[in-house]
């Protein structure tokens, strides 16, 4: 589904990604771990098409489409979803109107008519129960006055509504207490399917106790330096990242 080859990217004069390679197949869940500053969030931003990040080399393909050629909104319509590490507040815009605009943008892209109110509300009901998002939060302005945990649940809610092909979760576990972590994980797990792929970026093993990855990759200095199964995460939890750096230098 997703092919990343020799990806180089920079912000300003800082080279952050240095030849990153990754292939993700439908149904797979890849965890990306690594120390601070290794380029994890940059990878998420580059995939989503954030303007401040300049791709200097390499390619990214989603089902054969050159992703780097598309505007951020077109990438989203093609099925790329980014769950933000710090979800953005949009005062005065209700969560539901926001989602309806997003759903209809995607439908228009696919040549479909706008969603019927009844169908939309049914979808909203289904998805909000998935992450235990109550009615009040749905009707409030996008993320305005939400707690950290509510914001993250709202991200997963939006992800469920939009039914993306590729879900990129950028440190979705940061700032979550145990209960919220469980709720968010439950939502993610419910969405796993043979047609959908996930890239889960995290610092900590604890998220991966709830969301079991198929692959774990370690990112260091802007490239993947070690890959393995879910055991790799446990090893990292145990030993930290230094041993990988030493391995690299050896």
- Give the binding site for other proteins (CB under 8 A): 48-51, 71-73, 76-77, 81-82, 84, 87-93, 97-102, 104-106, 109, 114-115, 117, 141, 158, 162
| Residue where the block lists tokens 């077109």 | 74
Q: Which is nearer to other proteins, 52 or 250 (CB)?
A: 52
Q: How far is the CB of 27 from other proteins (least distance, A)?
A: 23
Q: How far is the CB of 160 from other proteins (least distance, A)?
A: 13
Q: Which is nearer to other proteins, 40 or 106 (CB)?
A: 106
- C-alpha pair distances (Å), 174 with each of 66, 118, 219: 31, 35, 18
3-state SS, one letter per residue, for the chain:
CEEEEEEEEEECCEEEEEEEEEEECCCCEEEEECCCCCCHHHHHHHHHCCCCEEEEEEEEEECCEEHHHCCHHHHHHCCEEEECCCCCCEEEEEHHHHHHHHHHHHHHHCCCCCCCHHHHHHHHHHHHHHCCCCHHHHHCEECCCCCHHHHHHHHHHHHHHHCCCEEEEECCCCCCCHHHHHHHHHHHHHHCCCCCEEEEECCCHHHHHHCCCCEEEEEECCEEEEEECCHHHHHHHHHCCHHHHHHHHC
Q: How far is the CB of 77 from other proteins (least distance, A)?
A: 5
Q: Which is nearer to other proteins, 4 or 162 (CB)?
A: 162
Q: How far is the CB of 80 from other proteins (least distance, A)?
A: 8
Q: Which is nearer to other proteins, 137 or 244 (CB)?
A: 137
Q: Which is nearer to other proteins, 51 or 246 (CB)?
A: 51
Q: How far is the CB of 124 from other proteins (least distance, A)?
A: 14
Q: How far is the CB of 114 from other proteins (least distance, A)?
A: 4
Q: Which is nearer to other proteins, 11 or 102 (CB)?
A: 102
The alpha carbon of 98 is separated from its chain's Cα centroid by a whole number of angstroms, namely 19
């Amino acid at each position: 589904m997703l092919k990343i080859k020799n990806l180089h990217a920079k912000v300003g004069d800082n080279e952050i990604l240095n030849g990153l390679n990754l292939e993700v197949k439908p149904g797979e869940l890849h965890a990306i771990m690594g120390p601070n500053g290794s380029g994890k969030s940059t990878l998420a931003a580059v995939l989503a098409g954030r303007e401040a990040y300049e791709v200097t080399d390499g390619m990214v393909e989603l089902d054969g489409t050159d992703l780097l050629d598309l505007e951020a909104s077109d990438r989203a319509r093609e099925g790329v979803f980014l769950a933000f590490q710090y979800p953005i507040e949009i005062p005065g815009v209700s969560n539901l109107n926001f989602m309806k605009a997003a759903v209809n943008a995607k439908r228009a892209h696919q040549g479909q008519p706008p969603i019927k109110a009844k169908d939309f509300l049914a979808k909203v009901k289904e998805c909000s129960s998935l992450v235990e998002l109550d009615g009040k939060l749905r009707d409030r302005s996008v993320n305005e006055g939400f707690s950290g945990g509510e914001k993250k649940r709202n991200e997963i809610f939006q992800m469920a509504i939009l039914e993306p092909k590729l879900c990129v979760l950028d440190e979705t576990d940061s700032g979550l207490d145990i209960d919220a972590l469980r709720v968010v994980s439950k939502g993610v797990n419910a969405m796993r399917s043979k047609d959908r792929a996930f890239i889960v970026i995290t610092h900590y093993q604890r998220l991966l106790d709830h969301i079991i990855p198929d692959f774990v990759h370690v990112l260091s200095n802007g490239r993947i330096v070690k890959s393995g199964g879910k055991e790799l995460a446990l090893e990292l939890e145990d030993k930290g990242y230094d041993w990988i750096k030493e391995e690299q230098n050896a």
